[in-house]
Amino acid sequence: MINKLLFFAVVFFQIAASNAQSGENYVRFIDRYKGLIDTILLMESREELILEQHQESVVKQAIKNKDTGQEVEVHGGSSLSFYFNPDCKVVYKISYHDNLSGNFYLNFLYKKNKLLLAEASFREDSTGELLYSRLHYYNNKRLVKSVTSGEWENVNRHFQKAPDLYTLAYSYLKLAIGEIVRQ
């Protein structure tokens, strides 16, 4: 039953993708594809379709305090999750989170190992308030839409510069595919 559902969903999205190669139609296609992947990830029996590999680690990082100029060692944790199909070595989604100096999140969405969507967000540690988020939509290596909320100045006390989402997405994809191959 699940395989049939996935088959029809994939066919639907293949047709939709061929009709939505640019502009807002393409962005809507990516949003729907993200909804499909996220729905499958919530299913209890998704292991037939998509597997997850999860890694956690303790992280130490020296961060330069913008106000004082002094370096401070910050301790926290990080997690990295890959969602993939091991049979065809296809990665669907990669999620990263660390809590070194707030809650920093990265999410990348792929179709046939090609980046469709990259998202970065930073939330205040104590309140969970969203300080900054950036969402990039890609079509064949080309940025087709960028949505930003919040000001980078709210976050740059933690980071010297905004992350290059495209480069990060493919660095994590390379790592994920290496992990899949080792299985």
Helix (H), strand (E) at residue 134: strand 130-139
Quick one: pLDDT at residue 2?
Answer: 55
Q: Where is 95: in which H helix or E strand? A: strand 90-98
Distance CA 6, CA 156 (A): 42
Q: What pLDDT score does 21 carry? A: 57
- The percentage of residues in the chain with a pLDDT greater than 70, rounded to a whole number, is 79
Q: What is the pLDDT of residues 52-98, one digit of tens each?
A: 888 888 877 777 666 777 887 777 788 899 898 878 788 999 999 98
Give the CA count within 13 Å in the CB-facing half-sphere of 138: 19
164 confidence band (pLDDT: 50, 70, 90): confident
Tell whether the model's pLDDT for residue 99 goes beyond 70: yes
Q: What is the pLDDT of residues 13-23, one digit of tens each?
A: 555 554 455 57
* pTM greater than 0.85: no
| Chain segment 126-149, per-residue pLDDT in tens | 787 888 899 999 998 899 999 999
Instruction: Give yes or no for a contact between 99 and 128, defined as CB atoms under 8 angstroms apart.
Output: no
Token pair in block for residue 104: 């920093």
Q: What is the pLDDT of residue 85?
A: 85
CA distances from 84 to 11, 21, 149, 173 (A): 19, 25, 30, 11
Over pLDDT 90: what percentage of the chain? 28
Residue 16 has a pLDDT of 52
